[in-house]
Amino acid sequence: MVEYDPYMPEVLEDPNSVYARMRAEAPVYYVERFDAWALFGFEDIWAGHEDTRHYSVKNGTSDLAFLDREPSAMETLASVDPPAHDALRKEVFRYFGPSAARALEPRVRGWIRDCLDAHRGGGKIDAVRDLGQQIAVRVACAVNGFPLEDADYLVDLVSRFFGREEGTEGMTEDGYAARKQTWDYIEGLAQERMKAGGGGEDALGLLSSYSDAQGPYTAERIAQHLTLLLIGATETFPKVFATGLLRLWEHPEQRRELVEKPALVDDALTEILRYDMPTQWLGRTTIEAHEIRGHEIREGQPVMFVYPSGNRDPEVFEAPDRFDIHRKSPRILSFGQGTHRCLGSFMARMEGRMLFEEVLREFPDYEVLLDESERLRTEFVQGFAHLPITLS
């Protein structure tokens, strides 16, 4: 009989094999330990994202607190339901949408070239720490309104959120301390901006003069919202970039094609996102009982969307375990869907396009130093913590 619990050693070690069995034998699975449901099939996960009638994000969408039905400790776009969510998101989108991403392109290209130049002499670079994270955190600083000089400090804080300790499930004491430090840091910036009368073309400026039914936003509320924007921007993207470099290295003929036809980078990115989605799951709290494939989902039960499983569902993707940059998938789950669809997807795609273009143009024959790599295997996010590549 198949079994699943996000903290099981088998899931941490080899998630895709467990997910394949779950999809085949129990695509809608009751997780007894949490009195919760886990969805493994693409269509069920997709439909779950579009369903705001049966589901709420009031308890957040991840971690043990969510599974234990505790109200979210942070007020963010990902913990507020419509209509309040939609009103705020519409405003914030200005700093994250397609035109904002296009406007940032020249700066991003400059940052990438600076990072590559700084490591050229040494002949190798850590694709996660020295490249992916550097670009992702700078984009986060630019769109949120944080000083660029604080980029390294912020990368360090966010990495601590995702640190795990043997014997502890979920976030560690140090992770919680890092979260508090991040709140304090952003709260300080928000207070300064408010004192200066608000304003500024970034998310901090917007929220410094934003009001809703509870009144004008306080520095504390701003800090919670911007913490999600910082984490969302900084953590996942570098992992996608690193696994993308690995897959292209493993498939030299596809890498060669990309080098010769950079116009294929957008399609390649979609496949990279599909093939190795770092976030293992996010979820919703059921607010109205309903059925999924004959299973009764009761009010109050958490429902987990197991993204990497949906992204390799053979009912939607032919030969899903084959990496193929020509696939042209019209739908993938890597940015979610519907109301809470990833706010940063245009930024992430822009960063990815620029990074692959630059690396493949300058170092088309890079080698991945797999023996020197380090993997992060957690119940929440998976991917490389370090992936050195040669610059030759």
What CA–CA distance (Å, rounded) separates 280 from 38? 11
Task: Identify which of residues 143 and 368 has a Cβ nearer to ligand HEM in the complex.
Answer: 143
Task: Identify which of residues 83 and 121 has a Cβ nearer to ligand HEM in the complex.
Answer: 83
Task: Identify which of residues 52 and 191 has a Cβ nearer to ligand HEM in the complex.
Answer: 52
Q: Which of 350, 188, 343 is nearest to 266 (CA)?
A: 350
Q: Decide: is 49 part of the binding site for ligand HEM (CB under 6 A).
A: yes
Q: Decide: is 383 part of the binding site for ligand HEM (CB under 6 A).
A: no
Q: Decide: is 77 part of the binding site for ligand HEM (CB under 6 A).
A: yes
What CA–CA distance (Å, rounded) separates 239 from 257? 23
Which among 20-28, 34-42, 152-160, 232-240 is the span making contact with ligand HEM, rule CB under 6 A? Answer: 232-240
- Residues in contact with 257: Cβ distance below 8 Å, sequence separation at least 6, in sequence order: 264, 325
Task: Identify which of residues 243 and 254 has a Cβ nearer to ligand HEM in the complex.
Answer: 243
* Binding-site string for ligand HEM from residue 125 to residue 154, where x marks contact by CB under 6 A and - marks none: ---------------x--x-----------
Residue 27, amino acid: P
Query: Of 343, 359, 360, 389, which one interacts with ligand HEM (CB under 6 A)?
Result: 343
* Binding-site string for ligand HEM from residue 285 to residue 324, where x marks contact by CB under 6 A and - marks none: ----------------------------------------
Q: Decide: is 282 part of the binding site for ligand HEM (CB under 6 A).
A: yes
Q: Pull the structure tokens for residue 120.
A: 């050229």
Query: Of 141, 348, 359, 389, which one interacts with ligand HEM (CB under 6 A)?
Result: 348
What CA–CA distance (Å, rounded) separates 32 from 43? 23
Closest approach of Cβ 1 to ligand HEM, in Å? Answer: 30
DSSP state of 368: B
> Which DSSP helix (H) or strand (E) runs through 299?
none
Task: Identify which of residues 102 and 120 has a Cβ nearer to ligand HEM in the complex.
Answer: 102
- Residues in contact with 156: Cβ distance below 8 Å, sequence separation at least 6, in sequence order: none
Give the number of residues in contact with ligand HEM, rule: CB under 6 A: 26
Opening angle at CA 390, ends 385 and 392, nearest 5: 155
In the chain the beta strands, taken as DSSP E runs, fall at 28-31, 36-39, 55-56, 124-126, 211-212, 215-216, 282-286, 290-292, 295-297, 302-305, 374-377, 382-386, 388-390
Describe the chain by its helix, strand, coil percentages, rounded to 5.
Answer: 55, 10, 35
Closest approach of Cβ 39 to ligand HEM, in Å? Answer: 13
Could you list the residues that contact ligand HEM (CB under 6 A)? 49, 61, 77-78, 89, 96, 140, 143, 228-229, 232-233, 236-237, 240, 279, 282, 334-336, 340, 342-344, 347-348
